[in-house]
Amino acid sequence: MMSDKPAGDAGFDRQREQLVARLRAQRIASERVLAAIAATPRELFVPPELRPLAYDDNALPIAAGQTISQPTVVAVMTEALRVEPNSHVLEIGTGSGYQAAILAHLARSVVSVEVHPELAEGARRVLATLGIENVEVHVGDGSLGWPDAAPYDRILVTAAAPEIPAALLDQLRPQPGSRLVVPIGGRDFQSLVAVTWENGEWVERRGGSVRFVPLRGEAGWSDTEWSTRRHPFSRWRRKHNP
């Protein structure tokens, strides 16, 4: 089995085209999002021994016990974020850097925060290899956002949070078009929540179900809460939804 094909390998290029065709068939409608996925070699963001699986529609293990998200989920979340060419974007949970690379294709600038230094380092390396220069990767507790580069036009959280982290809303520009997308829930059930600025207030909408590793840190899940599968919606104040 070939496990160390170089970038630009024709086999991977063909698999990437097939992935984009599958996503289109699954009703990912944004041509900008599809083009960003078509331009991003996922095989470079997975451990070398897993490269043959890079274009399967699965999450895969990366360092530090974390995962690179499933391509379908990346596509759905990216589309839900509605990034514009002039957007300044914050991503929480850099992981492999794959989602950050896709955001970089769509946005003016991306700030991505990762709690595990070795993942941040690995992501920086791959992004540099690809010549992507509009992403800054920082090590820290992203449940508190990254105030130094705020305000943001879009914020994407790629780990499951118990509720909407207050610091993230504080760092989102209060203007029409601004958008926060975050999986809310525990180990067993999470749904994608989008928060937008409408008529002078933040409005939450719940979308489809997803499955992410936990957001840690101050506004994230503690180990015990996560592993006792406590359901978050009991303490989730849904101000604007009926």
Q: Which is nearer to ligand SAH, 62 or 197 (CB)?
A: 62
CB of 201 to ligand SAH, least distance (A): 26
For residue 184, give both structure tokens.
């809310």
Q: Which one among 109, 158, 178, 190 touches ligand SAH, defined by CB under 6 A? A: 158
Short-list 137, 135, 36, 20, CA closest to 82:
36
CB contact set of 198 (below 8 Å; sequence gap of 6+): 176
CB of 94 to ligand SAH, least distance (A): 6
Short-list 122, 142, 140, CA closest to 63:
122
Sheet of 201-210, strands arranged across: 135-139, 109-114, 88-92, 154-157, 179-185, 190-198, 201-210
Q: Which is nearer to ligand SAH, 95 or 186 (CB)?
A: 95
* Positions 115 through 154 that interact with ligand SAH (CB under 6 A): 115-116, 119, 141-143
98 binds ligand SAH, rule: CB under 6 A: yes
Instruction: Using alpha carbons only, give the angle 80, 85, 20 rounded to the nearest 5 degrees.
Output: 55
CB of 18 to ligand SAH, least distance (A): 20
Q: Which one among 96, 109, 171, 178 touches ligand SAH, defined by CB under 6 A? A: 96
The stretch among 15-23, 34-42, 129-137, 213-221 that binds ligand SAH (CB under 6 A) is: 213-221
228 vs 170: CA distance, rounded Å: 30
123 vs 137: CA distance, rounded Å: 8
77 binds ligand SAH, rule: CB under 6 A: no
87 noted as active-site residue: no
Residues of this chain that bind ligand SAH (CB under 6 A) = 64, 66-69, 92-93, 95-96, 98-99, 113-116, 119, 141-143, 158-159, 213, 215-217, 220
